[in-house]
Amino acid sequence: MKQPVRVAVTGAAGQISYSLLFRIASGDMLGKDQPVILQLLEITPALEALKGVVMELEDCAFPLLAGVVQTDDANVAFKDADYALLVGARPRGPGMERKDLLEANAAIFSAQGKALNDNASRNVKVLVVGNPANTNALIAQRNAPDLDPRNFTAMTRLDHNRGMAQLAEETETTVNDIKKMIIWGNHSSTQYPDLTFTTVKGQPALEQVQRDWYEGTYIPNVQQRGAAIIKARGASSAASAANAAIAHIRSWALGTDENDWVSMGVYSNGEYGIQKGLIYSFPCTCQNGDWKIVEGLDVSSAFSQEKMKATETELAEERDAVSHLLPN
Ligand code: NAD
Ligand code: LMR
């Protein structure tokens, strides 16, 4: 059996965590041979609820669960953390855009960036789920000057999975038949779900769907899926968000499939002309615990350029709105 790794999860008594923690502890995220110590962070008033969640974790008798820490102190939660899943943040309600949460949530991520900087493993893999996820990841990263910016990522895997599922439905195939989906940019309604390079059963996706459906139905539906769930459920997505977080870390830690890629919000070094330093969703492959942006794709069409730029502009505006929280 391997040595346990430390997995910090914030917002541990919330909706997403109620699906997430049990799957991490059962080995879905890091493999059935990888014991984990869960280091759970909550705000003080939620510690009692967290206690109940931990009682349930104990009652599962998971063989891989090597320990649980419960705390309201980020320095304790992130101590020697190998993985940090930053879920704790306010969710949006009906009629809000995710960036409307910036004011409420941004301060959380500057404090947690500092705590990661001071306490976590130097190789910590950070996934920001709390919205607006890309800009919160940027805030955490900029407040952690001693950590490699590559350690900070934001979740667009849920959008990627939504894009695959909706394409499978339209083409009467299954998600197993779909490869090379891309979500570019922000986890917001400006994201660009791009099928230019996607294949269905090995053939170009865009030859198997109507262009009108792609531009007029598919792209807006993927962009607006989070809002549609809030409208239907009265609360934001939780189990599917937890599933995407599991998939994101699993791909990063254990590698992506050959001949496919995944979408991850990662630090831009100027790839595809995107401003350096933004946390922008790109197609990525992962190997040996490291991610790499897929380069060399032809994105020169006016349609792609306009959409990639619009979501970049929104991210730059979000960044500028929180400049007081970006010390470096
Ligand atoms: P929730 O309200 O059920 O849970 C959030 C939890 O975070 C609460 O228990 C709260 O006490 C805790 N919390 C608040 N501030 C904290 C802090 N400073 N430190 C630690 N914990 C803190 O919300 P949820 O449904 O679990 O969603 C959490 C976040 O994830 C929201 O911002 C939501 O919009 C976002 N989300 C993102 C995606 C994505 O694809 N990136 C998908 C779904 C939801
Ligand atoms: C989602 O995409 O489901 C989440 O980001 C929640 C939301 O606010 O839409």
Q: Consecutive 10-residue runs of the chain (328 residues): their mean pLDDT?
A: 96 98 98 98 98 98 98 98 97 89 92 98 98 98 98 98 98 98 98 98 98 98 98 97 99 97 98 98 98 98 98 98 89
Q: Tell me, in angstroms, the distance from the centre of ligand 1 to residue 33's CA.
A: 29
- Close Cβ partners of 250 (under 8 Å, ≥ 6 residues apart): 28, 29, 30
- Check residue 1 and give its pLDDT: 79
Closest Cα to atom 8, ligand 2: which residue?
92
Closest Cα to atom 7, ligand 2: which residue?
226
Most informative mutation of 9, 19, 43 for ligand 1 (most atoms within 8 A of CB): 43
- Check residue 300 and give its pLDDT: 98
Catalytic residue among 160, 187, 248, 324: 187
* Active site (annotated) includes residue 160: no
Upstream peptide bond of 220 is cis (omega within 30 degrees of 0): no
**Whether residue 98 has its Cβ less than 6 Å from ligand 2:** yes
Residue 273, judged by CB atoms within 10 A of its CB (0-12, 13-18, 19+), counts as: exposed
Q: Return the ligand 1 atom nearest residue 237 CA.
A: 43
Statement: the pTM of the whole predicted model exceeds 0.95 = yes
Compute CA distances 271 → 156, 177, 184, 299, 317, whole Å. Answer: 18, 28, 12, 11, 19
d(CA 328, CA 132): 20
For β-strands 83-86 and 290-293, DSSP reports them as unpaired
Q: Give tens-digit pLDDT for 32-58.
A: 999 999 999 999 999 999 999 999 999
249 is in an annotated binding site: no
- Check residue 205 and give its pLDDT: 98
162 is in an annotated binding site: yes
- Check residue 328 and give its pLDDT: 61
